[in-house]
């Protein structure tokens, strides 16, 4: 792992205590933005649990106290993705498995919303399955999503044929039918991104390289896929708007095993670091008056790693810090109600841990708080 001895970031300091409290524990980490900031300045953390999801909520903006876990039942949930829109509404997308009256297993995509911090989640609504026939339908991949600037929810799923399917809301609030966006041999976790100008872009690793879909205009059709002969490791792609209407995609390079950043029209920029097997958590934030990107991921040894570098200035170098904190899945990054960077992870026992940016220059994290 490449490390820098100087720069805008100070090494994060691990620590914590053993948590012996009783109560439900998470079965892993959710996909997407599972640490969210509400309109009232409070953070909420979500995690899957057998038969539903768990929710922890700050009792005041900026913490440090949290309430929870609160259990939201979702029978049959096998995968949870969390997506937040500019309106701060939190959308839950799930893959659900059920057994029909005839004993045949079935899978579908479900959706629910939390409109305000700490309040109830709406009823879960089925969005169906883009594939027909029991065998193909059972191969339903996990849903991922993005919420456009106008609040329109877009749900993307890799179909059984390896192509990308889309289901999205119509202007009247109803759901349109599934749309086939094409492609072949794509990864199970494409990376959609809602740009501030209203368009959606999607990047997916594929057997042939990388595929990109771009919405032609806010609310419009999707052009693509456009293919690029690049080598991201499957399951590692993440997306972030790093300048107005410009997306940067981050992934683990399949050949070098290091992180890379890429924007269409250029070549991937190597960032160093060690291999990540899952998508990166991504966050854009000011540090010491400059525009920075923060990345976090689970290392191959099962511990969390944090990286920081200039937004769209990746060639100047990334600073990587192994945090010595074991975790499940991808960590989460957010800014709290006071603008401080917060990192969350799910430990091997299914308990969330949270570290917050300390006052002062750079990015030093507090000791880990066990929720």
Q: Collapsing DSSP states into helix, strand and coil, what is residue 344?
A: strand
Handedness of CA 276, 279, 282, 33 (dihedral sign): negative
16: left (phi over 0), alpha (psi -120 to 50) or beta: left
The whole-angstrom distance between residue 350's C-alpha and the CA centroid of its chain comes to 18
219: left (phi over 0), alpha (psi -120 to 50) or beta: left
Q: Which of 182, 260, 177 is nearest to 214 (CA)?
A: 182
Give the whole-angstrom CA distance, residue 169 versus residue 154: 7
Count the Cβ atoms, other than its own, within 10 Å of residue 182: 14
DSSP single-letter state for residue 29 = P
Contacts of 30 (CB under 8 A, 6+ apart): 46, 47, 48, 53, 80, 81, 82, 329
Exposed/middle/buried for residue 142 (C-beta within 10 Å: 0-12, 13-18, 19+)? middle
The confidence score (pLDDT) of residue 21 equals 56
The confidence score (pLDDT) of residue 347 equals 97
Count the Cβ atoms, other than its own, within 10 Å of residue 120: 11
Instruction: Determine the straight-line distance between the first and last CA of the chain, rounded to whole angstroms.
Output: 30
**Per-position pLDDT tens, the chain of length 371:** 333 333 344 444 433 333 445 679 999 999 999 999 999 999 999 999 999 999 999 999 999 999 999 999 999 999 999 999 999 999 999 999 988 777 777 899 999 999 999 999 999 999 999 998 888 888 999 999 999 999 999 999 999 999 999 999 998 889 999 999 999 999 999 999 999 999 999 999 999 999 999 999 999 999 989 999 999 999 999 999 999 999 999 999 999 999 999 999 899 999 999 888 899 999 999 999 999 999 999 999 999 999 999 999 999 999 999 999 999 999 999 999 999 999 999 999 999 999 999 998 989 999 999 99
The confidence score (pLDDT) of residue 22 equals 64
Question: Alpha helices, DSSP H only, in the chain?
Answer: 134-137
E-assigned strands of 28-152? Answer: 31-32, 35-37, 43-49, 52-58, 66-73, 77-84, 90-99, 105-114, 125-128, 144-147
Encoded tokens for 316 = 């100047």
Tell me the backbone φ, ψ of residue 271, rounded to 5 degrees: -110, -5
- Pairing assessment for the beta strands 238-243 and 246-252 based on DSSP bridges: antiparallel
Give the whole-angstrom CA distance, residue 40 versus residue 34: 17
What is the pTM assigned to this prediction? Answer: 0.93
Q: Which of 124, 199, 134, 204 is nearest to 165 (CA)?
A: 204
Q: Which of 259, 276, 251, 345 is nearest to 29 (CA)?
A: 345
Contacts of 119 (CB under 8 A, 6+ apart): none
Q: Which of 58, 116, 61 is nearest to 87 (CA)?
A: 116
The confidence score (pLDDT) of residue 137 equals 87
CB 56 within 8 A of CB 35: no
Give the whole-angstrom CA distance, residue 26 versus residue 273: 28
Encoded tokens for 12 = 């994060």
The confidence score (pLDDT) of residue 23 equals 79
Instruction: Report the helix count and the strand count for the chain, using DSSP H and E.
Output: 1, 29
Tell me the backbone φ, ψ of residue 338, rounded to 5 degrees: -105, 10
């Amino acid at each position: 792992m490449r490390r820098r001895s100087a720069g805008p970031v100070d090494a994060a300091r691990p620590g914590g205590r053993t948590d012996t409290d009783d109560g439900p524990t998470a079965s892993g980490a959710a996909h997407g933005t599972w640490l969210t900031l509400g309109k009232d300045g409070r953070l909420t953390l979500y995690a899957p649990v057998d038969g539903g999801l768990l929710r922890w909520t700050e009792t005041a903006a900026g913490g440090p106290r949290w309430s929870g876990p609160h259990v939201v039942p979702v029978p049959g949930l096998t995968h949870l993705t969390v997506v937040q829109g500019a309106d701060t509404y939190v959308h839950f997308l799930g893959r659900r498995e059920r057994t029909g009256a005839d004993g045949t297993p079935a899978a579908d995509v479900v959706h629910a919303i939390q409109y305000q911090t700490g309040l109830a989640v709406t009823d879960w609504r089925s969005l169906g399955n883009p594939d027909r026939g029991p065998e193909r339908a059972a191969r339903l991949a996990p849903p991922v999503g993005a919420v456009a600037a106008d609040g329109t929810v877009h749900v993307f799923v890799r179909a059984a044929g390896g192509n990308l399917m889309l289901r999205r809301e119509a202007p009247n609030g109803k759901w349109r039918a599934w749309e086939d966006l094409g492609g072949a041999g794509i990864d199970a976790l494409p990376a959609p991104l809602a740009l501030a100008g209203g368009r959606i872009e999607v990047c997916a690793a594929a057997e042939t390289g990388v595929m990109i879909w771009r919405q032609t205009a806010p609310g419009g059709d999707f052009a693509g896929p456009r293919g690029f002969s690049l080598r991201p490791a499957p399951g590692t792609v993440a997306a972030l708007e790093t300048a107005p209407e410009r997306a940067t995609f981050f992934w683990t390079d399949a050949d070098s095993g290091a992180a890379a950043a890429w924007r269409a029209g250029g070549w991937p920029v190597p960032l160093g670091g060690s291999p990540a097997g899952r998508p990166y958590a991504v966050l854009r934030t000011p540090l010491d008056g400059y525009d920075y990107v923060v990345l976090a991921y689970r290392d191959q040894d099962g511990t969390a790693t944090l990286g920081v570098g200039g937004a769209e200035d990746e060639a100047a170098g990334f600073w990587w810090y192994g945090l010595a904190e074991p975790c499940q899945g991808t960590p989460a990054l957010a800014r709290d109600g006071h603008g401080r960077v917060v990192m969350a992870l799910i430990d091997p026992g299914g308990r969330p841990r949270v570290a917050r940016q300390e006052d002062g220059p750079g990015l030093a994290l507090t000791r880990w708080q066990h929720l």
